[in-house]
Structure 1
Amino acid sequence: MSTHEHGRDDCVDYIERIVYLIDNELDQADCAVVQLHLRECGPCLERYDLQRAVKQLVARSCSESAPESLRDRVRIQLREVEIRLTEGEA
């Protein structure tokens, strides 16, 4: 059964995993699952592409590394925004 047959609610489970995929923080099995979902789900693929583009832009624009505590706070806030956006789409 494809992601489109499951519905948009199932995509919520992939939002955080997409971030981990971009950051190379998933094991091989989880990467395969997320990549399969991205091949089947246009909205999640668009989100992945956008997040990857933003990450690349920030990487090119910043020559200094932010403290890990700041990076953690930004990640948490981004995930909270993503959750609110996803809940608003339902």
Structure 2
Amino acid sequence: MSCGDPHETDCSEVLDHLYEFLDREMPAGEADKFKEHFDECSPCLEKYGLEQAVKKLVKRCCGHDDVPTDLRSKVMGRIELIRSGEAVPEQTVMEQAVADQQAARQAQDADVSARATRTAESA
């Protein structure tokens, strides 16, 4: 997306790094360039406002759910794969996290079952 007007920071760069700006995960100098861009570019400012509203809504509606402890590292790993252009697994991060939890439960259930069998055999 581009508004068609020349800017010091290109619209595509701003939109590519919008969540870094929203999450305050970029250096101050870069953030200042983005703020300046939003002052000049109403389409990007509108997109920023929309994404900010979505982020607040998600936080309000989903902020109380327990998140698997390693989910952040998995999400960041997936982001790095995408940025580097490497092949990305077909499962989403959430699908993989759910599958990992199910596998862990199955392993735990199998362990409990094996112990129960050993106990019954020794009795």
Pick the TM interval, shorter chain: 0.5 to 0.7
Structure-to-structure mapping, 1:30-49, within 5 angstroms: 30-49=30-49
Asked whether the 8 Å contact 1:4–1:40 carries over to 2, the reply is no
Name the counterpart of 2:26: 26
TM-score, structure 2 length as denominator?
0.49
How far 1:4 moved relative to its partner? 5.5
How far 1:6 moved relative to its partner? 1.2
Name the counterpart of 1:64: 65
How far apart are the structure 1 equivalents of 2:66 and 2:16? 23
Gaps of 5+ in 1: 78-90
CA-based RMSD of the aligned residues comes to 2.5
How far 1:5 moved relative to its partner? 3.1
Which is bigger in relative contact order (C-alpha 8 A, separation at least 6)?
Answer: 1
TM-score, structure 1 length as denominator?
0.65
Q: Which has the larger radius of gyration?
A: 2
Gaps of 5+ in 2: 83-123
The letter for the 2-side match of 1:27 is P
How far apart are the structure 2 equivalents of 1:6 and 1:48? 19
How many residue pairs get aligned? The number is 71
